[in-house]
Structure 1
């Protein structure tokens, strides 16, 4: 293979980088290598606080420039190859602030200032997105956009004020023309094969490969079954930053357009409609597509990490990593999704619920990789819910995550699929709870039977996020919530189920 430097657009020019370790993060590059780019801050180094937020630019299939905010602390520098990197230094100058910066100043949205560059970049991403669409976000939408940015000085109210005010100024979008031109030129580069010494591991030469087609990936994976697959780096980046693990040779999936496809596809031979989600599709796009076919998944989408994490991370990575507290698997198992695996030119398919074998162990064979998820479109009479219980509402790891689905026939449960995360070493179905409701009338007695059976399905562990007793009680209570929302008579209306709307709903009901 022909090795070459990695190349990306930054500060008005194409940068060529060689010799830096393959696991150098974008944040490390900005603060230690790039000229005058220390506005991007290091806070948590794990994608939680947003102080390191930057914008990445890529061309889509039609040549349009797409900008998304991501955390620089978890992104490895070679993943920038062929892309554009924008930081807070690319917005406005001290004597010519852009609308985002000016609004933060005018609304007193900066206190100590440490978090401000990250907020500015997330606001800029929002400004660009709505400017492109000709829309304006609501205050709640702004809060969702900023869920991955923490302000240690509790300045959220003026920051949200700034988010609203930035649209009042005359429009001043980022100049996209030079970025597009540079990215068009970078498209002519050969696929990246990058090699550099690793000081942390005795100067060993590490390799980073970035194939651009599914066929190239399949060949590389077969030839190098021990290499580690890298997608959004929202998990593997923490292995390096926090655990100092040796991740060795890396095969990057982010440049393979085929892996990012989301398209309608028949789920079975009978032609049942389904949705194909490529393993490389970003969490943001994947969950948007899932929510479009299953509206009850929308809240889980918004609470699935933060926007910068969802912009970088992939649904395939979330599923393949197989964390027992991952938020993707419970909902997908409840929907009856299948997983598509590939080795060379050979595909095989199995139910997602059969993919997980034990704690952090799955059914992947040497040289095999996850190609896609195939999700059946839920029938109109499927009663589906997804619940996430965590210490924080936004951007937190689940203590319990549940995907619950059932279908009734004349008031009797004809089908039930209950999947739980955070209750065992793997995400799995609650078989005894399902058996307790099948063939039974959907009422409080049946709900109580399901809750009792759940204690036979799972023996949760105690850890820092929740005690075993708390997890069991919460999971059992979720059956009652499911019944309250889906019962035949007087199901709870949507406003009664939102913590944000509960007070106003209660007041209006009392009036």
Structure 2
């Protein structure tokens, strides 16, 4: 007869650096959000809850900590979907703190970001303005001395703040006005000292717990993480929590025990390593690396992906979420997976006492929100092969269709990586698709239609037809099945046109009468 598991023990106090001192907040539950702690425990009601889903940006706060490489890292995070205990040992600011923190210059005056919004009439009703302030505050902290704030930088920083009832122009003007003055930075030396003091008080979550089941465990080493995963497989596994915490805020679930992978140093790194043969190279992205860090690494090797990554969520989600979490949650509309499938990525699944097992990413998914991850395993790394020295890299293209340009969920996404031989034939091709099946999928039939064929209209049209036959998408609130199927073909056609394709028919001007009918006729799949 099995001994019933003991209930999780209460977590120790939450340690934060706040307003120039280290604070301990007792009694924080493992499933309590940072927003709840800030508002209800610390009385910082200036930070707001709007959507409770990380979309509107009203809840945005600034968080600083020491990154794995030892640098001071600033992030704008959605406090409504951030577990409070995930910022254990970090420094936190809300808009209310900018005039009251001795680490910041100003002697009680408005912070320059706040003053700029007032001066340029960018302040709103007060519900969403605090989040806008904090997004721009992080931008200002990251800005090098003498560097201007461009419109593009401002748009990127504000991509997670969707409610702008004063209009976009005054807010962007306020952001660009920061160029006229040096960054109003926090005292880095004092901040580092406080972070180290907080780390010493916070202790090591990897310590042994005897027979007790800790309510919140965030191991710092892979060995400790795998040991905890084997011992407490019932614990909810989280990384950034940008998807998982929606169970708490939208579905009103409760979690008794949490295993947080985000502090595991070995899983936070992005490295270039040799493959098993020793002859090839792999880009290895740790499952705890943030989306921001992972995208920077992928973009460094495949620059053509930059516009696609800009459409992936808003900046607070990219600062808080992880690539490993996006892959592991198994959503058929996860934006990273079609690209990773096209790049021949694989996942490494680790468990205590055995070597990591590796699966091609497309084989990791078993059904809707179901993966091959065993109860005692964690997703440790995502690995993508890099071209051998002297080998030309494949061309890469990725497309996302959604109702809103930024910070929106895909209706359809398509990614393709291909290489042509000297004769112009397709020597290598991989296609990943999202939003058209129960899982992120590889378009094998479309690949077969292109492989070995000249990169011309006939082969591309054959692949378009194969794409439309290969998947049976659903109709939902984002798009109909017919639209999704048509767009799969259209996105492949767009890729071909953008990379040297010259159709047999005449070009189409969309400002001509009946242009839509001509466009449909020109892109219709031929029998």
Q: Structure 1 length normalisation: TM-score? A: 0.89
Partner residue, 2:118: 105
Matched, 1:485 2:498: yes
CA distance 1:113–1:4, change in 2 (3 Å): closer
- The partner residue of 2:287 within 279, 286, 289 is 279
Q: Distance in 2 between matches of 1:191 and 1:19?
A: 18
Shift of the alpha carbon at 1:241? 0.2
Q: Distance in 1 between matches of 2:179 and 2:80?
A: 29
- The one-character-per-residue Cα deviations of 1:392-444 (angstroms, maximum 9, x if unpaired) are 11000001111111121211112221110100000111111111112211111
- The partner residue of 1:139 within 120, 128, 151 is 151
Matched, 1:450 2:459: no
Contact 1:218–1:343 under 8 Å retained in 2: yes
Partner residue, 2:297: 289
Q: Distance in 1 between matches of 2:273 and 2:501?
A: 33
- The partner residue of 2:186 within 174, 179, 183 is 174
- The partner residue of 2:140 within 102, 112, 127 is 127
- Of residues 241-250 and 475-484 in structure 1, the stretch that sits farther from structure 2 once superposed is 241-250
| Residue pairs, 1:395-406, within 5 angstroms | 395-406=407-418
Secondary structure class of the residue paired with 1:73? helix
Matched, 1:186 2:193: no
Secondary structure class of the residue paired with 2:47? coil
Contact 2:418–2:426 under 8 Å retained in 1: yes
Q: Distance in 1 between matches of 2:151 and 2:123?
A: 18
- Of residues 268-277 and 225-234 in structure 1, the stretch that sits farther from structure 2 once superposed is 268-277
- Of residues 166-175 and 221-230 in structure 1, the stretch that sits farther from structure 2 once superposed is 166-175
| Residue pairs, 1:26-37, within 5 angstroms | 26-35=34-43, 37=44
Partner residue, 1:25: 33
Shift of the alpha carbon at 1:486? 1.7
Moved over 3 A (4+): 61-64
Shift of the alpha carbon at 1:489? 6.7
Contact 2:284–2:384 under 8 Å retained in 1: yes
Matched, 1:245 2:253: yes
- The partner residue of 1:165 within 172, 177, 201 is 177
Shift of the alpha carbon at 1:80? 1.7
| Residue pairs, 1:64-463, within 5 angstroms | 64-92=71-99, 96-131=109-144, 134-188=146-200, 189-192=202-205, 207-346=215-354, 347-378=356-387, 380-409=392-421, 410-463=423-476
Contact 1:406–1:413 under 8 Å retained in 2: yes
Q: Distance in 1 between matches of 2:29 and 2:68?
A: 30
CA distance 1:214–1:106, change in 2 (3 Å): same
Shift of the alpha carbon at 1:171? 4.0
Contact 1:193–1:208 under 8 Å retained in 2: no
Shift of the alpha carbon at 1:154? 4.3
Q: Distance in 2 between matches of 1:380 and 1:467?
A: 39
Shift of the alpha carbon at 1:99? 1.3
Contact 2:22–2:197 under 8 Å retained in 1: no
Shift of the alpha carbon at 1:193? 8.3
CA distance 1:95–1:82, change in 2 (3 Å): closer
Partner residue, 1:197: none
Contact 1:451–1:479 under 8 Å retained in 2: yes
Partner residue, 1:56: 63
Secondary structure class of the residue paired with 2:81? coil
CA distance 1:193–1:40, change in 2 (3 Å): farther
Q: Distance in 2 between matches of 1:191 and 1:170?
A: 38
- Computed over aligned residues only, the root mean square deviation of the Cα atoms, in angstroms, reads 2.0
Shift of the alpha carbon at 1:136? 2.6
Contact 2:348–2:380 under 8 Å retained in 1: yes
Q: Distance in 2 between matches of 1:190 and 1:214?
A: 17
Partner residue, 2:48: 41
Q: Structure 2 length normalisation: TM-score? A: 0.87
